[in-house]
Chain A
Amino acid sequence: MGMMSTALPDLDRETDLRAAPDEPWQTVVWNDPVNLMSYVVHVFRTYFGYSRDRATQLMLAVHHDGHAIVAEGPREAMEAHTRAMHEFGLWATVRRGNE
């Protein structure tokens, strides 16, 4: 066992014991004039396993708002999703969640 130090730390300094939060990253799918709405819903359902309702909601968000966040999580996973979206011909990008 160590000896108690008599020197007090500077208690005015804030100490943050929390682990650095996992930076949330996002996969974003952007609207394009080519891919069929039914195809985009199909991709969201089969690839991400989203329900028909959720997939349709996301597709409509892409269509009307120009883009939608389709997944959030660690950067590597978001890059893997983006690559998969590219395989399907969807226009997808990766970004930091706080942007």
Chain B
Amino acid sequence: MRSIVMAVVLLAGCAAPEPAAIRDARPTRLQRGERMLVEASAPLFTVGAPTTVTLDALGVTLPARAVAADRVVAELDADTRAAGATTVSVTQGAQHWSSDARTPFDVELCAPALQHLANGWAARLPGPAWLWWALALLGAAALVAAPLPVIAGLIVVWERKVSGYMGSRFGPNRVGPNGWLQWLADGLKLLMKEDIVPADADARLFRGAPYLAFIGLFLTFIVLPFSRYAIVADLDVGLLFLLSVTSLVVVSIIMGGWSSNSKWALLGGMRSAAQIVSYELPASIALLTIATLTGSLSTQQIVAAQGGWPWQWNLFRDPFTFVAFFIWFVSALAEGNRTPFDLPEAESELVAGYNTEYSGFRFSLFPLVEWVNIAVLGAVGTLLFLGGWRVPFVGAATIDAHPWLDALGFATFVAKDLAIVFVVIWIRWTLPRFRVDQMMSLCWKYFIPFAFVSFVGETVWTWLVPAAATRIAGGALFVVFGLGFGGWFVSRVRDNARRYQDLVLNDALGPGPR
């Protein structure tokens, strides 16, 4: 297949034989003080001759040495102030080679602060260095995850307010300003409740399950890039990490459901296992679509590959990413047990599903996880499809020059995240629930095939379609779906909201005989 495609491409004259080129030998990001290795596709260099490596975009020239005919090693200056993606030139005497702009080298600034801290501890304190590293990372993660209950609480209140508005009633409006502290009251109440473990439950698993769910979600905050700097660790395996740790939540749900020794909880746990395992496939394939076109699993890289304007987002990049977004979104709803896929805790069928037997603090962890999960869902959607923290006119270099602009990126990210969260809430209070067989057939008969089509299509697209055509397709998609369809949708919503207001008979019946 590939040879046929290549032959077509060659006949069309689109591809010429590749010239000898240099590239980043390790497809990882570089940090200050690290060694970089530049690799040539042919023996170009003279070993031992004076050599320099220039990071073109950053204007940094580093002393280097050619260790082999095709290898140059340079030490990245610890004082390098700039960061970002760049091409690299290697100079040896009068000879000069430049790397391909399509495979940029990446220089990063954020994590070193952590690294310095950890290295400082390791130098002064006993114990292995990796331990201090782990501690530093954990501390940073805790710092990011500390607001987790607050996020969950505020989303709960918000959800209740939205649902109240939709169901023509008031949401919480008593505790705190306009009810916004309701989550605190509810949380405290749950903390003071008795922690009941049913007599016939598997006590150890029963007690452990909620923590597992919490840990699974807590860990995702490590790779979520809230802004250029606000990220705990930009792991090279970011997306993979995200997928794997969120799976812990399923384990916890099954564990909780099974160990409760209650039939309702068991049914909820079983449903959850079937549902989440099924929907993880289309969701992962949709994520892979983005990973393929970006060429990286790192969350920051994926954000960096997009632009600030909507037509530069992955959502509107080409038809396949557009499809992938919706597949991912619906699958993520299913993974997060949200309506119309809230079968594991279908309150009208299974009492409360997998958490039927829980009470007190252990119970409170499940809703906490559920609501933080919505925020995580929104964050993942933002970074993958909606341009992450990218702001128009403010590039990475601008933020490095004016660090306060990072707050703008953070605000952008949070705004996009909340927009997705709102849509999720909106869907929950609009739609009924699927039945378990309908949900399964939706996943296996429609979503997985469509996800594969979008994945393969995206691969072919990135391979064959030139960048200019992609830009035109993206613009067209944005105009048709973003402005056209989106505008039509918004006007419909406004129309319905107005119609709904007309239907409220506010005190029109007058005071009763009370």
A-B complex is real: no
B interface residues with partner A (beta carbon < 8 Å): none
